[in-house]
Amino acid sequence: MPYGTITADSGLTKPITINTLRKMKAEGEKFITVALYDAPMAAMAQKTGVEVLLVGDSLGMTVLGYDSTIPVTMEQMIYHVEAVRRGNNKSLIMGDMPFMTYATPEQAMTNATRIMQAGAHMVKIEGGEWLVDTVKMLGDRGIPVCAHLGLTPQSVNKFGGFRVQGRNDEQAEQIFNDALALDKAGADLLVLECVPVALAKRITDAVSMPVIGIGAGRDTDAQVLVINDILGLTEQPPKFSKNFLVEAEDIPGALRKYAADVKSGIFPSDEHNFG
């Protein structure tokens, strides 16, 4: 396979960059993203060919025992970004910006600098058109940005729970327009979470940046799952997830199975999607 994923044994042979992912989008090859939080799993992801690692504020729920991502602090994010970076020197690493650490462009600049200095290659922020100035400022100063639309977990209290977004025409059009605005502002990647399949495809086809889906169908340029879901460690797994360990002999086998099913289009299937 091109772009560093050669065999199951060799894993990634060279660092993955934004240009790598743009080329994969242009050539129609899907890439793999895993949300994880420690050095051993990060090293395993490199050996099994995972192109992108997300050190997500989901660690609040998967590692720290919170009931949402909102309590996660900058110090906790930096701790886990540093750990992941020590375990992996070839995957592209994204670090989440915690709740209310990017409310203004200036605040975003200060905190994004800390995430990048901890070892991330890119920061991820949740929100729509209101982030245009922030995306421009960060990009102009050499900090790549992954935007996040749809179900944005930091807004769970505003949404009234973890709910699918974009099911009515007004919501769908707003998410679509937000995606166009962020793309024009210079965002480098986009995560679409828990949106209808048709909306995800429309956005993926319309924007120049690669789109990573989670609960957004198979038409996005990539998929992301949390390592806990891939390994069946989540007590009540979300609809969009799958336990790949039941089809593998060990953890590396589960990661390879996840990667193979994404690249071949087997995963996600209709049962994992929202109409």
Tokens at residue 38, please? 């420690």
CA–CA dist 143, 138 (Å, integer): 5
Tokens 């360990």 sit on residue: 245
Active centre residues (catalytic): 193
User: What are the boundaries of each domain within the chain?
Assistant: 18-272
Strands (E), 56-200: 92-96, 122-126, 145-150, 189-193
> Could you report the per-residue pLDDT of 124-151, keeping only the tens digit for each?
999 999 999 999 999 999 999 999 999 9
Which phi and psi (to 5°) does residue 134 adopt?
-65, -45
> Quick one: 54 exposed, middle or buried, by C-beta within 10 A (0-12, 13-18, 19+)?
buried
- Which phi and psi angles does 184 have, rounded to 5°? -65, -35
Please state the pTM of the whole predicted model: 0.94
DSSP string, 80-113: HHHHHHHH-SSSEEEEEPPTTS-SSHHHHHHHHH
- Determine which helix (DSSP H) or strand (DSSP E) holds 199, and give its type and residue range: helix 197-206
> Which fold does the domain 18-272 belong to in CATH?
TIM Barrel (3.20.20)
> Is the model's pLDDT at 191 over the cut of 80?
yes
More confident residue, 8 or 236: 236
One-letter amino acid of 109:
M
Residue type at 268 in one-letter notation: P
Q: Which residue has the tokens 């789109």?
A: 211
When comparing pLDDT for 9 and 223, which is higher?
223
Residue 3 has pLDDT above 90, yes or no: no
Q: Containing H/E element for 24? A: helix 18-27
At 51-105, the pLDDT tens digits run 999 999 999 999 999 999 999 999 999 999 999 999 999 999 999 999 999 999 9
